[in-house]
Amino acid sequence: MSRVPLLHIAPSKTDTERLLVISPELADVLSTIISRVRDANGAVPLVVSYDNHERVWNPPMPLLFQRHIGVENRPIPTAGIRDMLNDALARTGLTDATSRPLTFSPHDFRRLFITDAIMNGMPPHIAQLVVGHGDINTTMGYKAVYPEEVINGHRAFIARRRTTRPSEEYRTPTDEEWEEFLGHFERRRVALGDCGRAYGTGCVHEHSCLRCSLLRPDPAQRERIVQIRDNLLDRIAEAEREGWHGEVEGLKVSLAGAEQKLAQVDSRSSRAAAVHLGLPTFRDVAGRTVTAGERPRA
């Protein structure tokens, strides 16, 4: 009969008890710690610890991280565990990217455990229950994402996508198809600029480019757009004078489109304008002003 070692975790995080299946390596470490802290009767001594978060004294418990001081056993505080951990790291000589000694906290090992577990196939919702998170997004935040994992995941996604799509979509296009593709972009050129509609789609605005949000106006056609706007103003005034109220409504939509295109042209022109900063100057040792590129005088 085989035995499965389980680690019982006292209520924390979500105030629920948890049972975690531990690996043989972790079981060996725990058994070593237990053998070191056992008393003469073979039991782990009960010690009283202080909960810094709840600000209360806990009842006596068989804590693994304890030490013998004087005639009694006392728990090793969190700060002491951090000091021992960093001291062990310093002895290894390992450094980070800035050549500084590595520093770990006990909480870092939770992240390492979750990262290793999920990358080796553990479902995220199972990992969530193991660490006691109420939200799975918190668990995924623990999981480190490496560039190699991202690249491999993207390649796998592309491979799955290609298997589900028709194979004829990946064939080499014919000369006629290629000419049709290039002709699409040539036909997108209009008087006021360029049409941004996607390949294989027709004009849904019945070639009313001034009203279309896909039109990218050409700054060189600004005067033409101004003329169209002024003409629309005159036509609106005429329609209002003659009582053509239906005509007024349509003309105002075109007028709003013309003003929007003018605003886009002016915005692009202001961003593209270059500012001449001139040549920098500085003073030589004698206090004379010298322009960059000029040879200083003795």
Q: Facing residues of 19 across strands?
A: 8
pLDDT value at position 146? 63
Alpha-carbon distances, residue 9 vs 22, 104, 240, 247 (angstroms): 12, 22, 80, 76
Q: Specify the higher pLDDT residue, 164 or 12.
A: 164
Is a pLDDT exceeding 80 seen at residue 240?
yes
- Residue 56: phi, psi to the nearest 5? -140, 160
- Residue 72: phi, psi to the nearest 5? -140, 160
Q: How does the average pLDDT of the chain come out, rounded?
A: 78
pLDDT band at 256; cut points 50, 70, 90: confident
Instruction: Write out pLDDT tens, residues 136-149.
Output: 888 877 776 666 77
Token reading at 201: 């789609």
Q: Specify the higher pLDDT residue, 20 or 71.
A: 71
pLDDT value at position 46? 92
Instruction: Write out pLDDT tens, residues 79-130.
Output: 888 888 888 888 888 888 788 888 888 788 888 888 887 777 778 888 888 7
* Mean local confidence (pLDDT), 283-288: 64
The C-alpha atoms of residue 180 and residue 175 are separated, in whole angstroms, by 9
pLDDT value at position 122? 78
Given a contact cutoff of 8 angstroms between Cβ atoms, the answer to whether 217 and 187 are in contact is no
The C-alpha atoms of residue 66 and residue 278 are separated, in whole angstroms, by 71
pLDDT value at position 197? 76
